[in-house]
Chain A
């Protein structure tokens, strides 16, 4: 008996993914739950397990393909009366306006927004010359626009509606208006490498943020001399629990407190409905540098976890990010982000606020500096912090207050107990 293995649902709102690797070959005998392919969705790479065992007689996909949920991956022979779970192959229309925005990354590749509405015609797109020209002027691909007229005919209004959809979606890859780059080979030998999925998403996401969020960066140095003593003292306790007491873990804990103190920093701006979304939970993203590129796993309910718990969780999350084992859920729903480059170096930098968040904390390398205290210079350990924030919601005074509060708490952690 031959049986098809189809791509199962990977996560909510994920309708397709890019096939990174095929882990089996024709002729292989596979077991149930054995990994068969590796799928890259937004920023997560996921292994897809076989729902049943058997001998592979055909592989219907190629590395690099975009595969939709419900699409056949393999044909397997010698399957013994296995009941195949009914795969939900329905493609969902887009994503709700906010679902994809609470995370850095879109839950589904952008072209799916419209490819879920294919044209009825197998000939050319039903749009008049003036409408085609209008779409071209806006940098939109007419083939991706859904027509609402008779026979699927596309009107000016359909083009405008599509443009709005593209602009509002954080994944504006549809704009074909990228400038041509010069032919660099004129000046010397060059190599060409396709952009990876993660690179592309990072590029699009940062451009989106840069263009939509007016960002201000506030700098401050926190005196962590006392905190460092405490950290080194308490290290062993945390290590016993299986974690590592890092500055990132401490900043995670303190940021949660700051977000409680300053709720505006735990909000999102909804320009479409002219409203501000205040969140009553505190989820914080941590930027992790991996071989594949930047990943941002999100720690949930930070305020409800102890420093030890957070240290353990961070350890696990960072490891999974580096091994590409993060699920897309683990990267969604962040309200605020911490990017700690201190381990690498630098005196300060200006991080970019994630789309649909309002602030990000950048951390640079701490250093011992002379500080004038009580009439003399004394050596103190100072930690440079940069806070980038969305000026649409947060004014300069708010930003300064937030960062000053953070620094005070870093200097005297016991303040938070008062």
Chain B
């Protein structure tokens, strides 16, 4: 049997980063994934296609709003087929590029599904022809369960599991269809439903709602908690909501779906209020939609990997347990990215992939990031990094929050985006920037400056004393930092605090 030095299962942002890094460190790398090229869910059915469609939504939204400023467009025509093709061309271009980079690095790319035979052996069902993918369908690709016709076995010295996560199915959903969709199917744009129900108001639900709203659907929401994006900074979410009062035709909070019935091209949904014994207004309420998008969470994609044959331990939620270097309880096997839990974010997986490759190469690296940024690509975007207010309180850190409203930013007003906020969490005494939150146009791009600041242990004065280009919204970070010292430029200085 062939002996492989480093084998990586899953070629998403974590897997391909690990593969590239390991190859660049001079190791022989084998990368296994069911897709023809690296990219994983992120590039094929997640981040990238979502952002392409969200870009269209944003263009439409801005064009419509330009009417208020004297530039009126006609109601746009949406050519679903063309939009879909464009989105697919974006995916193809990026994944094709990754395929090219894989070849350049002489990485042995195996298209197929892998599972453990024992702690040093993998069985692989290798896809010989691409047409198989057409048959199985895109969103079925991640499912290793039906793929154990091993036509290849290999031995490995080191292995990295980077198989990611898959959408959670609710107990009453047998399988996802074109009407009862998960986010991945929704991105295929098979139709634009007239009435769409989004089940789950997390960031995937909100981004999908934004896309379908722009494409012309009437979107409603069911969320089991009292708010959308419950893990995000409530102040930032509040500002987002004020600008998106009309996003949802109807929204039910603290409500769950108890049944879904698909019949005659419609989906009938049964709703029930939760946690509210006193309020019985919503009980067994039936609502009819043309499609439902289920985005209630993700679970680790480990089914069919036969982890137990390698003796790999998982936590109570099924995520593979790994240490700060990515090492599992089995010394030569690593787990990175979504499959190892924590924040399910592509950029975190990518960083972990790099670390795991370095560790395998004998370096002492470890994951010790202080600021993992998280961005919701709604309109406006919401982005956070570093410690939250809540975390600072839990850690007994003495801190002060400074907030700079975008209404005072020349550039934001000139772009017609005066509703936005930049806030910084600053440690009293050391004056270090510990956390940041931004809601507003391109918040996701702005947050990187705060990430660098937090990682570099920058003080508020470092940010305040760095010249920011005018006019840009990046100035709001500088102004927020100035605010800490009581001398912002474009808002009135706060009253002096008694010393």
Contact (Cβ within 8 A) B365 A123? no
Q: Does A120 contact B (CB under 8 A)?
A: yes
15 contacting pairs across A/B (C-beta < 8 A): A120-B429, A121-B429, A122-B395, A123-B392, A123-B395, A123-B427, A123-B432, A127-B457, A129-B455, A133-B365, A151-B432, A151-B457, A151-B459, A152-B430, A154-B457
For residue A120, which residue of chain B has the nearest CB? B430
Contact (Cβ within 8 A) B456 A121? no
A-contact bits for B409-445, CB 8 A (1 contact / 0 none): 0000000000000000001011110100000000000
Given contacts A129-B368, A132-B368, 15 further A-B contacts (CB under 8 A): A120-B429, A121-B427, A122-B395, A122-B427, A123-B387, A123-B427, A125-B457, A126-B432, A127-B457, A129-B456, A136-B364, A136-B368, A150-B459, A153-B457, A154-B457
- Give CA–CA (A139, B365) in the complex, Å: 11
Q: Does B263 contact A (CB under 8 A)?
A: no
B-contact bits for A95-127, CB 8 A (1 contact / 0 none): 000000000000000000000000011111111
Contact (Cβ within 8 A) A124 B370? yes
Q: Does A291 contact B (CB under 8 A)?
A: no
Q: Does A261 contact B (CB under 8 A)?
A: no
For residue A122, which residue of chain B has the nearest CB? B397
User: Which chain A residues border B395 with CB–CB below 8 Å?
Assistant: 122-123
- Give CA–CA (A268, B369) in the complex, Å: 46
B-contact bits for A128-146, CB 8 A (1 contact / 0 none): 1100110011010000000
Shortest distance in angstroms between B328's beta carbon and chain A's nearest beta carbon? 14
A-contact bits for B369-396, CB 8 A (1 contact / 0 none): 1100000000000000001000010011
Contact (Cβ within 8 A) B457 A128? yes
Q: Does B85 contact A (CB under 8 A)?
A: no
Shortest distance in angstroms between B311's beta carbon and chain A's nearest beta carbon? 12
- A151-B432, A152-B430 are contacts. A123–B397 as well, Cβ < 8 Å? yes
Q: Does B231 contact A (CB under 8 A)?
A: no
User: Which chain B residues border A126 with CB–CB below 8 Å?
Assistant: 430, 432, 457
Contact (Cβ within 8 A) B365 A151? no
Shortest distance in angstroms between A90's beta carbon and chain B's nearest beta carbon? 22
B-contact bits for A276-318, CB 8 A (1 contact / 0 none): 0000000000000000000000000000000000000000000
Q: Does B243 contact A (CB under 8 A)?
A: no
Contact (Cβ within 8 A) A136 B366? yes
- A122-B396, A128-B456 are contacts. A139–B364 as well, Cβ < 8 Å? yes
User: Which chain B residues border A128 with CB–CB below 8 Å?
Assistant: 455-457
Shortest distance in angstroms between B14's beta carbon and chain A's nearest beta carbon? 19
- Give CA–CA (A150, B429) in the complex, Å: 11
Shortest distance in angstroms between A156's beta carbon and chain B's nearest beta carbon? 13
For residue A150, which residue of chain B has the nearest CB? B459
Contact (Cβ within 8 A) A151 B363? no
- Give CA–CA (A366, B387) in the complex, Å: 70
- A128-B455, A150-B459, A151-B459 are contacts. A123–B434 as well, Cβ < 8 Å? yes
Interface centre among B397, B430, B431, B457 (most CB of A within 10 A): B457
User: Which chain A residues border B459 with CB–CB below 8 Å?
Assistant: 150-151
Q: Is the interface of B mostly helix, strand, loop or mixed?
A: loop
User: Which chain A residues border B455 with CB–CB below 8 Å?
Assistant: 128-129
Contact (Cβ within 8 A) A136 B365? yes
Shortest distance in angstroms between B464's beta carbon and chain A's nearest beta carbon? 13
Shortest distance in angstroms between A127's beta carbon and chain B's nearest beta carbon? 6
User: Which chain A residues border B430 with CB–CB below 8 Å?
Assistant: 120-121, 126, 151-152
Shortest distance in angstroms between B357's beta carbon and chain A's nearest beta carbon? 14
Shortest distance in angstroms between A124's beta carbon and chain B's nearest beta carbon? 5
User: Which chain A residues border B370 with CB–CB below 8 Å?
Assistant: 124
User: Which chain B residues border A137 with CB–CB below 8 Å?
Assistant: 363-364
Interface centre among A125, A151, A154 (most CB of B within 10 A): A151
Q: Does B191 contact A (CB under 8 A)?
A: no
- Give CA–CA (A123, B432) in the complex, Å: 9
Contact (Cβ within 8 A) B398 A122? yes
Contact (Cβ within 8 A) B364 A121? no
Interface centre among B370, B387, B397 (most CB of A within 10 A): B370
A-contact bits for B343-354, CB 8 A (1 contact / 0 none): 000000000000
Shortest distance in angstroms between B321's beta carbon and chain A's nearest beta carbon? 17
- Give CA–CA (A119, B263) in the complex, Å: 65
- Give CA–CA (A151, B431) in the complex, Å: 7
Shortest distance in angstroms between B118's beta carbon and chain A's nearest beta carbon? 16
- Give CA–CA (A139, B364) in the complex, Å: 8
The 6 nearest A-B residue pairs measured at CB:
A126-B457, A151-B430, A128-B456, A121-B430, A153-B457, A136-B364
User: Which chain A residues border B392 with CB–CB below 8 Å?
Assistant: 123
For residue B396, which residue of chain A has the nearest CB? A122
- Give CA–CA (A126, B431) in the complex, Å: 11
- Give CA–CA (A62, B395) in the complex, Å: 25
For residue B369, which residue of chain A has the nearest CB? A129
Shortest distance in angstroms between A111's beta carbon and chain B's nearest beta carbon? 20
- Give CA–CA (A136, B364) in the complex, Å: 6
User: Which chain A residues border B431 with CB–CB below 8 Å?
Assistant: 151
- Give CA–CA (A129, B354) in the complex, Å: 14
For residue A183, which residue of chain B has the nearest CB? B331
- Give CA–CA (A120, B363) in the complex, Å: 30
- Give CA–CA (A126, B397) in the complex, Å: 14
For residue B459, which residue of chain A has the nearest CB? A151
Shortest distance in angstroms between A206's beta carbon and chain B's nearest beta carbon? 25
Shortest distance in angstroms between B201's beta carbon and chain A's nearest beta carbon? 31
- Give CA–CA (A152, B366) in the complex, Å: 23
User: Which chain A residues border B369 with CB–CB below 8 Å?
Assistant: 129
- Give CA–CA (A125, B456) in the complex, Å: 10
- Give CA–CA (A47, B397) in the complex, Å: 39
- Give CA–CA (A125, B457) in the complex, Å: 8
- Give CA–CA (A305, B237) in the complex, Å: 84
For residue A133, which residue of chain B has the nearest CB? B365
For residue A176, which residue of chain B has the nearest CB? B364
User: Which chain B residues border A127 with CB–CB below 8 Å?
Assistant: 457
- Give CA–CA (A331, B364) in the complex, Å: 38
For residue B460, which residue of chain A has the nearest CB? A151
For residue B392, which residue of chain A has the nearest CB? A123
Shortest distance in angstroms between B454's beta carbon and chain A's nearest beta carbon? 9
Shortest distance in angstroms between A138's beta carbon and chain B's nearest beta carbon? 9
- Give CA–CA (A411, B348) in the complex, Å: 76
Shortest distance in angstroms between B21's beta carbon and chain A's nearest beta carbon? 14
For residue A125, which residue of chain B has the nearest CB? B457
For residue B462, which residue of chain A has the nearest CB? A150
- Give CA–CA (A129, B395) in the complex, Å: 22
User: Which chain A residues border B364 with CB–CB below 8 Å?
Assistant: 136-137, 139
For residue A121, which residue of chain B has the nearest CB? B430
Interface centre among A123, A125, A151, A152 (most CB of B within 10 A): A123
- Give CA–CA (A126, B370) in the complex, Å: 10
- Give CA–CA (A128, B457) in the complex, Å: 6
- Give CA–CA (A151, B429) in the complex, Å: 8
Shortest distance in angstroms between A347's beta carbon and chain B's nearest beta carbon? 43
For residue B391, which residue of chain A has the nearest CB? A123
User: Which chain A residues border B397 with CB–CB below 8 Å?
Assistant: 122-123
Shortest distance in angstroms between B396's beta carbon and chain A's nearest beta carbon? 6
For residue A149, which residue of chain B has the nearest CB? B457
User: Which chain B residues border A121 with CB–CB below 8 Å?
Assistant: 427, 429-430, 432
User: Which chain B residues border A151 with CB–CB below 8 Å?
Assistant: 430-432, 457, 459
Shortest distance in angstroms between A376's beta carbon and chain B's nearest beta carbon? 66
Shortest distance in angstroms between B125's beta carbon and chain A's nearest beta carbon? 32
- Give CA–CA (A124, B396) in the complex, Å: 12
For residue A128, which residue of chain B has the nearest CB? B456
Shortest distance in angstroms between A119's beta carbon and chain B's nearest beta carbon? 8
User: Which chain B residues border A136 with CB–CB below 8 Å?
Assistant: 364-366, 368
Shortest distance in angstroms between A181's beta carbon and chain B's nearest beta carbon? 12
Shortest distance in angstroms between A62's beta carbon and chain B's nearest beta carbon? 23
User: Which chain A residues border B398 with CB–CB below 8 Å?
Assistant: 122
- Give CA–CA (A151, B460) in the complex, Å: 11
User: Which chain A residues border B456 with CB–CB below 8 Å?
Assistant: 128-129
